[in-house]
Amino acid sequence: MNAANKAFVFRMAPSHIAIIGAPLDLGQGRRGVDMGPSALRVANLNARVKSLGYEVEDLGNIPVEQAEAAPADDRHARFLPQIAAACDVLATRVYDAMERGAVPLVLGGDHSVAIGTMTGVARHFRERNQRVGLIWLDAHADMNTPETSPSGNIHGMPLACLLGMGPGELADLAGFRPKVAPRNTVIVGLRDVDRTERPQVRESGVRAFTMRDIDERGLRAVMEEAIGAASDGTAGFHVSLDMDFVDPKDAPGVGTAVRGGATYREAHLAMEMICDSRRMTSIEVVEVNPVIDEANRTADLAVELIMSGLGKRIL
């Protein structure tokens, strides 16, 4: 790392980043997020992360079945076997990276890939008799189950699965559930929850900060509490960043856009505070859809946010 970079980089202790692409789009109805990993790489992700002084290893993409080759056979949990198979492979890739001392950086794909990422992270710490927390930056709770989901799309179920409430094929991945304790799980930016999903969010024990909380209290206070909850009694926390956390004015190319999200600066502050905590164990960025983006603007912002999470600073 050269002297100029030292002036604005606050780096995590691990120096090795393992990039893993997960081009999965079976979890949702709108096509295109399978090109998210490519869009992030086109936005010069690898070189920009290297500029912070990290050793970067790009492990390529996991294999994923295409929707045309595997018709959905369960309207309550569409493409469940195919998603479970992809998440199982991803979990192993993430686990192996962490066993080698690397920080996994997973590029989605729709948000169902979080089941695989978090399974690999949780397995790594479980074998050391440690817990891991989770900060879920998202407009949606993603806590539906096949019984409550109005669409049957699994990208609306990953957090439920990680908490042990989803289909067994996903909730029991790697042979244990839950992957994360509710009291160490925090949703930030919530503003779109299905009516049938609300009771599960309220009763789960998860700490959910809505956009009203951010409006009333400010992003800094919300993130301080979120980091505290995710860190309480854990070895650290995984960050799952759905780009619809950000308002569609700044991130138009996402799987399910919802108005009224975090501003450009709020999103950066969230990632900067996460980095400052030195508690982040791993990170994933999901739901980038270049098909509906504007000149790769959302992917470029996603890379900027990753950079803030990994230590880039203004001064």
Known active-site residue 111: yes
- Of the candidates 258, 186, 191, 247, the residue with the CA atom closest to the CA atom of residue 222: 186
Residue 86: CB atoms within 10 A of its CB come to: 25
Q: What's the mean pLDDT in 173-200? A: 97
| pLDDT at site 269 | 98
- The model's pTM: 0.94
Residue boundaries of the structural domains of the chain: 3-310
Catalytic-labelled residue, pool 88, 110, 124, 155:
155
Percent of the chain scored above 90 by pLDDT?
85
Catalytic-labelled residue, pool 25, 138, 197, 300:
138
| pLDDT at site 304 | 98
Catalytic-labelled residue, pool 25, 34, 110, 242:
242
Catalytic-labelled residue, pool 34, 287, 293, 300:
287
Catalytic-labelled residue, pool 244, 247, 272, 300:
244
Whether residue 3 is predicted with pLDDT greater than 50 in this model: the reply is no
Q: What's the mean pLDDT in 225-247? A: 98
Known active-site residue 73: no
Whether residue 7 is predicted with pLDDT greater than 50 in this model: the reply is no
Known active-site residue 244: yes
Catalytic-labelled residue, pool 34, 88, 110, 140:
140
- What is the average pLDDT score of the chain? 93
Question: How far is residue 155's CA from residue 176's CA, in Å, rounded to a whole number?
Answer: 21
Known active-site residue 194: no
Catalytic-labelled residue, pool 111, 124, 238, 268:
111
Known active-site residue 155: yes
Known active-site residue 16: no
Known active-site residue 242: yes
Q: Per residue in 247-259, pLDDT tens?
A: 999 999 998 999 9
Distances (CA, A) of 244 to 52, 62, 98, 176, 298: 26, 23, 27, 30, 10
Known active-site residue 142: yes
Beta carbons of 143 and 204 less than 8 angstroms apart:
yes
Q: 3-310: what CATH class?
A: alpha beta
Residue 259: CB atoms within 10 A of its CB come to: 11
Looking at the chain, the number of H-run helices and the number of E-run strands are 12, 8
Q: Per residue in 102-123, pLDDT tens?
A: 999 999 999 999 999 999 999 9
Percent of the chain scored above 70 by pLDDT?
94
